[in-house]
């Protein structure tokens, strides 16, 4: 057991993240473990989409991108004793481990590679359903058996104890498939500090740190609504978590990197892509509402007072099913009479898609032309035609028919830009008892070690409820964008979007809390006015959090929205005008 903190550096937040990030972390400040997250839900869906023609080929996929990143650094990793843990194994962690071992042998270095298995339950779905596991959709309650579609992929979220076991047995590099994002950090921290499986608060502290750094540069100012206040922002670096034996941590960054680590950049991650105050993981339940943050200065933020409790007996299973195909065509409208041009274009699209073969059609416009535009671009807006169908052919036909409008549509018709029909993959989140998993570590010599389900669990009774806030006296006001007084971040949780809104100013918090009641949010976000929005509060973070059910349909890979994974919902909300007390604005 180590007495000093473990330093865990992230170098990837998704498949396709900055390729040079691993080069940067290897050239930066000393760390003990490197972690890379490659498997966003939409990434798994996108990979599934690529194999709709041959589902059997899905098992051959792993992130070759990671191999190319790691290959130049094998010698340095061996010399410096740095461990690497990634979920780049995707649908074939064994295949990636074998490919990496070949690279290690070719480099002539001594590095041991282990991989984690047990997340892929696709081949077991029928047997599991026969045994009574219904995989009810977490939002709709519909059993998977009733969906009528043959799944392309089904992966359970594994915890971090397999990673810890691999490191304890001497592995230098651990390849995972679908583990929870935070498990990439919890596993190394539990190994380093020799935590007991029931050290709930320490485990929850590691999950909190893992949730903050899992998305790479976002913890250092990337995708941060207060980016204009950050120094040297053009190329923000990647974060480091220093986790102590009691589970408290410090989030920091490499000293030479751009960007910044502040209480607000950390808060942004804590309220990002969650379902509420209880953050469920296979090893522990994190109580996000217990978290407190301290600014230590010099890009160092301390996370402390974290409470954890036993995990649920189940873990989430991400199932992806084919949902037909979709297409998006972008065209552009210029000049005056924009409303009439858009109406004519919409009517023509309605005529072209009137057949029953089209399952969904949406025509949207974006932007407004300048009055007396300085150039043609300033006088132009975008119109987007999106459609879905069970097969590709109606969508190809729509593309051809749209381009045939060239001489019979609006003045200034520019044609349309489209990459053609793409598979529409539906995301199905269900649950499976952890005791049904075949979680195991596989070592370089072929030996394996099973990873037991948690010995103690607690049934999840649902997220805590918070009473609606009472109105506060506000005096004289000015009408300004919400973003003048608050930061926000949003993202996808399957078919739901979440959005967290917070203020760094204690004096603004009572007003913000009262402003963002459930009905207050519905007035600002009209798209969710008729949906059962769920509201929570995080007083320590001065944050209000909302879950927006089904805003994203059946997941980012199937809906027709421009903002398909909800990343910009927060910035739209911050642009809405609200009446703010003048005295609060003067303080800001």
At 50 the pLDDT is: 59
Q: Is residue 521 part of a domain?
A: yes
Bridge partners, 308 (sequence order):
286
- Locate tokens 């960007």: which residue? 259
Distance CA(494)–CA(517), nearest Å, equals: 24
**Taking the CB of residue 503, how many other CB atoms lie within 10 A of it?**
23
pTM: 0.95
Point out the domain boundary residue: 396, 426, 456: 426
- For residues 293 and 508, give the distance between their C-alpha atoms in angstroms, rounded to a whole number: 18
Q: How far is CA 462 from the centre of its chain?
A: 21
Are residues 329 and 307 part of one domain? no
Q: Which of 363, 395, 426 is the last residue of a domain?
A: 426
- Whether residues 307 and 182 fall in one domain: yes
Based on its alpha-carbon atoms, the radius of gyration of the chain, rounded to whole angstroms, reads: 25
Q: Look at the chain and report how many structural domains it folds into.
A: 3
Same domain, 267 and 401: no
Cα–Cα dist 185/240, whole Å: 11
Contacts of residue 343, defined as CB under 8 A and 6 or more positions apart, other chains included, come to: none
Please compute the mean of the pLDDT values over residues 271-290 and round it to a whole number. 97
- 99 with 60, same domain: the answer is yes
Euclidean distance between CA atoms 452 and 439, whole angstroms: 7
Residues 353 and 412 in one domain: yes
| Boundary (domain end) residue, out of 409, 426, 443 | 426
* Residue-wise pLDDT tens digits, 396-417: 999 999 999 999 999 999 999 9
- Residues 162, 303 within the same domain: yes
Give a yes or no: residue 147 inside a domain: no
Residues 52 and 184 in one domain: yes
**What is the 3-state secondary structure of 130-194?**
HCCCCCCCCCCCCCHHHCCCCCCEEEECECCHHHHHHHHCCCCEEECCCECCCHHHHHHHHHHHC
| pLDDT at position 57 over 70 | no
Q: Residue 587: what pLDDT? A: 75
**Interval 64-79: pLDDT, tens:** 999 999 999 999 999 9
Residue 29 neighbours by CB under 8 Å, 6+ apart: 240, 254, 255
Confidence band (pLDDT; 50, 70, 90) for 145?
confident
**Could you tell me if residue 15 is inside a domain?**
yes
Residue with tokens 């047997």: 127
Look at residues 19, 17, 11, 186 and name the one whose alpha carbon lies nearest to residue 82: 11
Q: What is the CATH number of the domain that holds 347?
A: 3.30.70.100
197 with 226, same domain: the answer is yes
3-state SS, residue 501: strand
Query: Length of the chain in residues, anyone?
Result: 588
In a domain, 519, yes or no: yes
Q: Is residue 124 part of a domain?
A: no
pLDDT at 206: 98
Band of residue 103 on the pLDDT scale cut at 50, 70, 90: very high
Residue 585 bridge partners (DSSP): none
Domain-embedded: residue 381 = yes
Whole-number average pLDDT of the chain: 94
Taking only the tens place, the pLDDT of each residue in 291-341 is 999 999 999 999 999 999 999 999 999 999 998 999 999 999 999 999 999
Q: Is the pLDDT of residue 146 over 80?
A: no
Same domain, 201 and 333: no
Band of pLDDT at residue 473, cut at 50, 70 and 90? confident
Q: Please tell me the least confidently modeled range out of 254-258, 285-289, 312-316, 383-387.
A: 254-258
219: in domain: yes
The DSSP bridge pattern shows strands 83-86 and 173-175 to be parallel
Residue 115 and residue 230 in one domain? yes
Do 208 and 301 share a domain, yes or no?
yes
| Cβ partners under 8 Å of residue 274, min gap 6 | 288, 493, 498, 500, 545
pLDDT grade, residue 53 (50/70/90)?
Answer: low
pLDDT at 233: 76
pLDDT for the residue numbered 98 = 96
What's the whole-number mean pLDDT along residues 38-54? 73
Using CA atoms, how far residue 320 sits from 201, 274, 514, 547, in Å, is: 34, 20, 39, 22
Residue 471: its pLDDT value, please?
Answer: 87
Let me know whether 163 and 296 are in one domain. yes
138 in any annotated domain? no
Range of the domain at 96: 6-119+157-311
């Amino acid at each position: 057991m180590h007495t000093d903190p473990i330093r865990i550096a992230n170098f990837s937040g998704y498949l396709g993240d900055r390729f040079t990030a691993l080069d940067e972390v290897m050239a930066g400040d000393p760390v003990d473990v490197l972690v890379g997250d490659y498997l966003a839900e939409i990434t798994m869906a996108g990979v599934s989409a690529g194999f709709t023609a041959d589902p059997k080929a899905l098992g051959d996929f792993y992130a070759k991108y990671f191999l190319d990143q790691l290959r130049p650094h094998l010698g340095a990793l061996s010399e410096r004793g740095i461990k690497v843990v990634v979920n780049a194994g995707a649908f074939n962690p064994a295949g990636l481990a074998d490919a990496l071992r070949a690279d290690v042998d070719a480099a002539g270095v001594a590095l041991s590679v282990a991989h984690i298995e047990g997340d892929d339950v696709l081949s077991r779905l029928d047997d599991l359903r026969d045994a009574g596991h219904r995989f009810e959709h977490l939002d709709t309650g519909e059993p998977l058996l009733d969906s009528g579609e043959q799944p392309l992929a089904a992966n359970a979220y594994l915890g971090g104890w397999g990673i810890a076991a691999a490191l304890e047995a001497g592995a230098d590099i651990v390849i995972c498939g679908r583990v929870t994002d935070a498990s990439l950090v919890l596993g190394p921290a539990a190994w380093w500090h020799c935590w007991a499986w029931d050290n709930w608060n320490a485990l929850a502290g590691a999950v909190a740190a893992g949730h903050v750094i899992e998305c790479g540069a976002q913890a250092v100012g990337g995708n941060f609504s207060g980016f204009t206040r950050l120094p040297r922002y053009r190329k923000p670096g990647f974060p480091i978590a220093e986790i102590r034996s009691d589970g408290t941590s410090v989030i920091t960054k490499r000293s030479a990197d751009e960007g910044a680590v502040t209480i607000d950049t950390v808060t942004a991650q804590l309220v990002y892509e969650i379902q509420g105050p209880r953050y469920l993981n296979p090893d522990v339940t994190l109580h996000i509402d217990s978290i407190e943050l301290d600014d230590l200065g010099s890009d160092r933020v301390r996370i402390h007072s974290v409470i954890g409790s036993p995990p649920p007996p189940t873990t989430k299973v991400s199932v992806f099913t084919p949902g037909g195909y979709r297409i998006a065509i972008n065209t552009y409208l210029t000049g005056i009479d924009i409303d009439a041009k858009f109406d004519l274009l919409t009517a023509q699209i309605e005529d072209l898609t009137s057949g029953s073969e089209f399952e969904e059609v949406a025509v949207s416009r974006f932007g407004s032309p300048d009055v007396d535009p300085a150039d043609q671009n300033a006088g132009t807006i975008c119109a987007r035609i999106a459609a879905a169908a069970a097969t590709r052919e109606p969508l190809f036909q729509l593309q051809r028919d749209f381009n045939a409008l060239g001489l019979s549509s609006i003045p200034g018709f520019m044609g349309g830009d489209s990459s053609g029909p793409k598979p529409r993959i539906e995301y199905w989140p269900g649950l499976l008892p952890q005791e049904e998993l075949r979680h195991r570590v596989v070592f370089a010599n072929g030996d394996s070690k099973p990873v037991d389900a948690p010995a103690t669990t607690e049934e999840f009774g649902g997220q805590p409820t918070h009473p609606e806030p009472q109105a506060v006296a506000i005096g004289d006001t000015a009408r300004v964008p919400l973003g003048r007084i608050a930061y926000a971040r949003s993202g996808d949780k399957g078919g739901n979007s979440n959005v967290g809104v917070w203020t760094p100013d204690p004096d603004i918090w009572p007003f913000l809390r009262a402003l963002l009641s459930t009905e207050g949010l519905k007035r600002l976000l009209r798209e969710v006015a008729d949906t059962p929005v769920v509201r929570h509060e995080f007083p320590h973070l001065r944050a209000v959090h909302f879950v927006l059910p089904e805003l994203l349909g059946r997941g980012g890979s199937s809906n027709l929205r421009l903002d398909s994974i909800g990343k910009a919902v927060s910035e739209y909300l911050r642009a809405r005008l609200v009446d703010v007390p003048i005295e609060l604005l003067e303080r800001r």
